Amino acid sequence: METTQRTDQERSAERRRRELLEAADRVVLRDGPGASMNAIAAEAGITKPILYRHFGDKGGLYRALAVRHTDALLDALRAALDAPNDRRERVERTLDTYLAAIEARPQVYRFLMHPPESGKDAEQGFDVGLHSAPLLRRLGEELALVIAERVDLGPEGQELARVWGHGIVGMMHAAGDWWLGERPCSRAQLVRSLADLLWGRLAEAGDRVGGPGF
């Protein structure tokens, strides 16, 4: 009985946490980096202390939203990498998947990657810049795993895959951030240009025997 009750309580807590994250998402879509705990609590129909009880502080809420959106992005990137196309098409599709994601929800992207204009959120000294770096590192490590699984890079393959994984994520982030702010070209043009930049040693590396290829 106690186990069942505990499981019901856990399910209820998970459901409530999911509802609060959905409310936070709605506020972030509206307010971007300026989304406040007060606004999120109001959107969820609760008081701010209750919101703190679930997430600790704005940093805790930020990390929960980052995991939520990073998981979804990684699933989309893996699907693009595993699509039945040739390697160049997969590279372009992967780049386009990332750019399409930040283009579709620019306010979410700015909330996750950019502090408010003042540099710091007044709420408990929250600094987005201190939290966004781990998000990019996670993307880099996950992409490195995908590259290592799909491309034969020789005896130093693991190390090279990590270099490439973090390098590609850094490139996508920097180029995407610039492009989203200035829109100097179409998304398709940016994808082609970034793919051209990558199309050096990656194009010459051999696929792992028996693997799907990258």
Asked if residue 80 is part of any domain, the answer here is yes
On whether the CB atoms of residues 35 and 111 are closer than 8 A, the answer is yes
Per-residue pLDDT tens for 143-194?
A: 898 888 877 888 888 999 999 999 999 999 999 999 999 999 999 999 999 9
Quote the pTM value. 0.78
CA angle 88, 181, 174 (to 5 degrees): 50
Range of the domain at 36: 2-207
The CATH number for 200's domain is: 1.10.357.10
CB atoms within 10 A of CB 34: 16
Per-residue pLDDT tens for 110-145?
A: 888 886 655 444 455 555 555 677 888 988 998 898
Asked if residue 214 is part of any domain, the answer here is no
